[in-house]
Amino acid sequence: MKCTAPGLALAICALTCAGAARAQDPTYAQQQQDYQAQQQQYQSAQTEYQRQQTIYGHRVAGYERARAAYDAEHGEGSFFRYYNVHPREYDELYGPGAYGRDFEP
């Protein structure tokens, strides 16, 4: 298929004019704004998810350090035995409801 210069110029003009007309269409402009808002919302959700993952990772690491230190001092499994008897103290260390979240099924 042979492409002539005038044919190419007409094709470029048609694409440019169609793009310009579409950009002036209020529906198209609203769709673009909606899309950009959705993209921003998605990016914000991703950032928040990463922040929550980081917090959770720090919490787990702190818990594992505390458990290892307590078990090293008092014997293997002492951490679980102690806090099974003292759930309020566990909640004071790791936040309200932590015992129920970490120990109960």
Q: Give the model's pLDDT for residue 36.
A: 95
Tokens 């110029």 — which residue?
A: 9
pLDDT, the chain, mean: 85
Per-residue pLDDT, 25: 81
- Which residues, other chains included, contact 88 with Cβ-Cβ below 8 Å and sequence gap of 6+? 99
The amino acid that residue 56 corresponds to is Y
Q: pLDDT for 23-74, tens place per residue?
A: 578 898 899 999 999 999 999 999 999 999 999 899 889 889 988 999 999 9
The first and second tokens of residue 2, run together, are 């042979």
Separation between Cα atoms, residue 38 and residue 103, nearest integer Å: 39
Contact assessment for residue 29 and residue 42, using Cβ atoms and an 8 Å cutoff: no
